[in-house]
Amino acid sequence: MRLNLLCLATITIACDPRVVANTKIDGSTEADGDADSDADSDADSDADADSDADTDPSACADGPSKTGPWWSTHPITAAGATATNTPYSQDAGLTAVRSAAVAATGGNEAINLPVQGAIVTAVGYVPAGGTYVSFWMADSSGPMFGYNVDLPSADTLQPGDVVTFLATEVVNYFDTPELTAVQNFTVTNTGAPVWVIDGMAEAPLTYASHGEAVVEVWGELVGGPVDCGADCYDFEYANNIITFRTSSTYDRVGDCIHYIGPLTQFGGVEQLDATNFNWYWSY
């Protein structure tokens, strides 16, 4: 049974204790995949020029020199896929799976629902040879989160993969609908465009409208950190504030951040869980 380790530092800060990724921006990884034990002994692991604690706020608001997943270590780029702001038009069957998960408030529930042609939009950390993976996918009905799913060759799953499987178990984990088990999981194609929401245009981001979708935002760390199993900052983007969670010890208030990754929530509060360092870049 998983514990709900809710950490509320302020009304606006919430922390998700579950680690889904721990890949550093330079491509290295923690051996145990545990972001909370990240000692960050590699002085250049973030490659994020964190000496700019006195960054001019207008520089952050002006945005990065490029948009989209342009850095080589971003998982979309590394997979050889492209990003698109156009939502998907294909119905892969995620509506039924999501509805079953929303209703599964009493714990993990068995289901038997086919999914055909969903597109993987983000993948959590998997050690080499690992078989359990947390991943995000989407179809025309929107995004869906798969938590710690046992998959063959989980460590090769990547954004842009088109997948087919039988969904066999779901749960509503503190208002986060999750797929938790599958059968006959198959990657039928690779390199599909990855749907990314322009969070600057659609601000403010809310879990009700954008939850578990991959979003792109940029702005400044303006408050924190507070301890949330990692470090949680107030992140200002498009004149809005959201929680930015990272296990890096190189991030500082005043840093300019460009984030392309899933929008999650914990305790009903939206957050950008950046424990996968490859999902963001400092500029």
Tens digit of pLDDT for each residue in 127-183? 999 999 999 999 999 999 999 999 988 999 999 999 999 999 999 999 999 999 999
Computed over its alpha carbons, how large is the radius of gyration of the chain?
18
Residue pointed to by tokens 């499987």:
165
Residue type, 135: F
Q: How far apart are CA 267 and CA 262, in angstroms?
A: 17
Residue 240 has pLDDT above 50, yes or no: yes
Residue 281 in this model has a pLDDT that exceeds 60: yes
- pLDDT tens digits, residue range 87-130? 999 999 999 999 999 999 999 999 999 999 999 999 999 999 99
pLDDT score of 282: 95
Q: Rounded to the nearest 5°, which phi and psi values hold at 217?
A: -140, 160
Q: How far apart, in Å, are the Cα atoms of 145 and each of 30, 69, 173, 268?
A: 23, 21, 11, 16
pTM for the whole structure: 0.81
User: Is the separation of the CB atoms in 186 and 164 below 8 Å?
Assistant: yes
Q: What is the pLDDT of residues 25-38, one digit of tens each?
A: 333 344 333 433 34
Range from 20-24, 58-62, 116-120, 205-209 carrying the lowest mean pLDDT: 20-24
